[in-house]
Amino acid sequence: MSALVSLCSVPSYVQNKQFYSTNNLSKIATVVPQMSLSSSTTSNHHKSKCLLPVDAPLKAILFDIDGTLCDSDPIHYYAFREMLQEIGFNGGAPISEEFFIKNISGMHNDELCHVLFPDWDFERAIKFMDDKEGMFRRIASEQLKPLNGLEEVCKWIEDHGLKRAAVTNAPRPNAELIISMLGLSDFFELLIIGSECERAKPFPDPYLKALQELGVSPKHTFVFEDSISGIKAGVAAGMPVVGLGLRNPEKLLSEAGATFVIKDFNNSKLWTALEELETEIHT
């Protein structure tokens, strides 16, 4: 979700409790840190004639949501940084982008309760998480935009009659808000929430559930993911994963098992892979 750079400091007026009022949400565009972009170069660790080792015909494509459909991670980082600093986490020092990547990115909230607050009771910790998600939704409702090329990829999927599902560790209200804001409510046939499965990502359960409900084999499906935990989940479910390296370092995504890494959906390597699969979709 992010490459490693120093971030601009937050203006002092955000300390004002009124900053988060509805009238002031538009100011967030000048406040949310401009997290850096990782390299758009790609790598392929699979020895296959095709860039994406999917058995013909391709039948389904699965998407993560945060950091994959849209660049939401700077908002998550900002919300965590502000709220953790307010309660004196890390001695009152703001968390770094590196800390966010290593300890927060891609994880579900139940797990984060134990990671961030090992000495808190669960009810107190989950209340913090719920409040953080509320802040995220207030900001996201004003700021989220689809990742470059998403509309074209979705049209390609629809034109070829492929099945599709969104599979996420995000809370359901967040996932539904993002999907609605991006105009994808009618595009996705299925929404799978990690916390509603027996185990969330990085375990394969959410992706296995999506495959089961769509009635497709992992051999005929691939995944778009941006986080280390999500890539591990997709690979564990038996599918090749295209990594979205908009924020997370490409090296980490490749090490997690991504077949190759792209910056956004306009990437030429992705479209070359889709063209390779296209001739066999209806065979």
Give the residue numbers marked as catalytic: 64, 66
CB atoms within 10 A of CB 254: 19
Q: Mapping DSSP to helix (H, G, I), strand (E, B) and coil, where does residue 55 land?
A: coil
Q: Answer for the pair 30, 12: CB distance below 8 angstroms, yes or no.
A: no
What is the spatial distance between Cα 97 and Cα 104, in angstroms, rounded to a whole number? 10
Maximum C-alpha span of the chain:
61
Task: Give the ranges where the chain is alpha helix by DSSP (H).
Answer: 73-86, 97-103, 109-116, 122-143, 150-159, 172-181, 205-214, 228-236, 250-256, 268-278
**Would you call 215 exposed, middle or buried from its count of C-beta atoms within 10 A (0-12, 13-18, 19+)?**
exposed
What is the spatial distance between Cα 182 and Cα 140, in angstroms, rounded to a whole number? 11
Q: Answer for the pair 243, 260: CB distance below 8 angstroms, yes or no.
A: yes
The radius of gyration computed from the CA coordinates of the chain, to the nearest angstrom, equals 19
- Integer CA distances (angstroms), 193 to 55, 152, 182, 199, in order: 27, 25, 18, 10
Give φ, ψ of 167 to 5 degrees. -130, 115
Per-residue tokens: 105: 């990115």
Per-residue tokens: 203: 């375990």
Per-residue tokens: 263: 């910056």
